[in-house]
Amino acid sequence: MPPFINLQDKRFYFFVIKERIFDVRPGARWKCLCDCGKEFITSSTCIIKGETKSCGCYNKNKFRYKNLLGEIFGLLTVVSFSHTNKETAFWNCFCKCGNNIIVSARSLKKGKRISCGCRGAQTRTELSIYMMNKYGVDHCSKVKEIQDKIALSMNNSGIIKHWKTEANCIWVGNYEKKVLQYLNNCIIEYEWQPKIFILPNNKTYRPDFYLIKENKWIEIKGYFRKDAKEKWDWFHKEYPNSELWDKKRLKELKIL
């Protein structure tokens, strides 16, 4: 029998060991407190081998969240796991001002939350500095990598490989999906969402794709929200080599 190892008060993954439990089963067993607040019992063997990571909440979700314990995001330090929903994990964070706050992993990793809010109006400036240092721009809407991740996290989204480059083309909504399938099936030279344009009011606009041989930007749209229509009108005026593929146009091309 292996020697006894005292694990009391030690942390493993998403739980802390509180005390040893004595029963008739062989091997040491321990009462543990999960970061989600639930108590559970497990064995030394499962703990040491890494088979136990939580009370079970870690495995109940379809996704696997990255362990952010100890990481620092701006003024926030991640101190413990809080809970999860169907989309992301939430973490207990300690702010340099002394406050505690629960923040989603998504907000932390995208730089949307870097303090508890203690600096008020300065928070926006802090975010701009953070984005500038990491990406060279002042807002996450200007970073293609971040926008791609946001798009992929939305409902009714997915990835289709480019027929030539095999690059991942992220679609949102059935219209974009069908257009991508059309471009690939017809072996059309295109670039999918290759560039983000900065408008005079500092907002951003990203056309859906660029037809290389035709030198034409294409916007796919079933309907326009007010702000989206304003962006398109500006872009179409500045770039006459642009075209709107609405429902009518998609039917003309036999895409729908």
Distance CA 35, CA 215 (A): 54
Distance CA 99, CA 203 (A): 33
Q: Which domains does the chain have, with CATH numbers?
A: 11-60 (no CATH), 72-138 (no CATH), 150-252 (3.40.960)
Label the pairing between strands 168-172 and 216-220: unpaired
Query: What is the pLDDT, as a whole number, of residue 171?
Result: 92
For 127-139, how does the pLDDT look when each residue is reduced to its tens digit (9 = 90+)?
A: 666 666 666 655 6
Query: What is the pLDDT, as a whole number, of residue 119?
Result: 61
Q: How many CB atoms lie within 10 A of CB 44?
A: 19
- Residues listed for the chain: 256
Query: Between residues 57 and 9, which one has the greater pLDDT?
Result: 9
**How confident is residue 69, by pLDDT bands cut at 50, 70 and 90?**
confident
Whole-prediction pTM: 0.49
Structural contact between residues 180 and 193, judged by C-beta atoms closer than 8 angstroms: no
Q: Per-residue pLDDT for 63 more than 50?
A: no
Give the pLDDT mean for 88-101: 84
Give the pLDDT mean for 219-240: 92
Query: What is the pLDDT, as a whole number, of residue 68?
Result: 85
Query: What is the pLDDT, as a whole number, of residue 113?
Result: 87
Distance CA 97, CA 169 (A): 42
Amino acid symbol at 108: L
Distance, C-alpha 85 to centroid of its chain: 13
Q: Per-residue pLDDT for 61 more than 50?
A: yes
Distance CA 167, CA 170 (A): 10
Listed in sequence order, the DSSP H helices in 24-173 are 44-48, 57-60, 105-109, 122-135, 144-152
Distance CA 169, CA 147 (A): 12
Distance CA 231, CA 237 (A): 10
Q: Per-residue pLDDT for 33 more than 70?
A: yes
**How confident is residue 183, by pLDDT bands cut at 50, 70 and 90?**
very high
**How confident is residue 123, by pLDDT bands cut at 50, 70 and 90?**
low
